[in-house]
Amino acid sequence: MQKSAPIGIFDSGIGGLTVAHAIKNALPNENLIYFGDTAHLPYGDKSTATIQAYAVKIADFLLQQGCKVIVIACNSASAAANELLKEYVASRATIINVIEPMVKHLSETCNGQSVGVIGTKQTVNSGIYPTSIASIKPDMKVKALATPLLVPMIEEGFLHNRIAHDIIHKYLHDDQLKNIDALVLGCTHYPLIQKEISDYYKGAVNVLDSSTITADFLKNFLSDNDLLNESQDEGKSRFFVSDLTDSFAHSAKLFFGEPVVLEKYQLWE
């Protein structure tokens, strides 16, 4: 496998650009190819079988681009399709998702603590975080809460106003999240409201962002397997979506933190 081969990143839409941006910051010399399945978002309320079908199609596209690693930058797709994609892709590329790096981080840093997880209905109902954490740290308590209003709130631009404040506080005040020591942001949209969430806890709870933890995990993986791009030039990035609208273009800049040129690529005829 060529070290200069790109890193593929995909999500149900634009939210995974928070992961792409973290990867670009951690690995500035790597070439990135992002695919946002904007024609089918959100994945959070889709069935497991439907998400798996979408994920396989996207993986095919990223394999055609010669990607050495495919990052599932979506908690819902990570929960629903990770094992299937590993079998499907096999030796053609390595699959990395946003859940396993977080679980590894928790197992190494949160001994005997109580951890909260917020995410989509698909992610929370899958039980992926409690199950994965229990297999490594049986004594760790995991409390998960579905927070379905946060994604549309963020995508509509309600980030730093009274509406956002009230919705965030309503969720975080839920009994399910009482007495936690750390909170996992189990959706790639949520880093955009990390400050508001941290402010709610006033430093009493460690708020964990899966995008930066995934980027660090990926960097270590590439280094350990001698797959780092040896070019000293800044890596090139391309961004594809399955449906293109002005609102997606606007959101892309918001999530990536800088202007992004989106290219439409229709996977389904």
- Angle at CA 43, nearest 5°, toward 176 and 119? 20
CA 77 to chain CA mean position, Å: 9
Q: Which residues pair with 146 in a beta bridge?
A: 119
Do 70 and 10 touch, CB atoms closer than 8 A?
A: yes
Catalytic annotation present for 110:
no
Ramachandran class of 127: left when φ > 0, alpha when ψ lies in -120 to 50, beta otherwise: left
Is 187 marked active-site? yes
Backbone angles phi, psi at 4, to 5 degrees: -80, -5
Angle at 184 between CA 155 and CA 26, to 5 degrees: 80
Paired strand residues for 70: 8, 95
Do 157 and 200 contact (CB within 8 A), yes or no? no
Q: Which of 19, 180, 187, 192 is catalytic?
A: 187
Distance CA 67, CA 61 (A): 9
Active-site choice (74, 110, 213, 252) = 74
Residue with tokens 């750390």: 182
- Distance, CA of 16 to CA of 7 (rounded, Å): 14
Active site residues per annotation: 74, 187
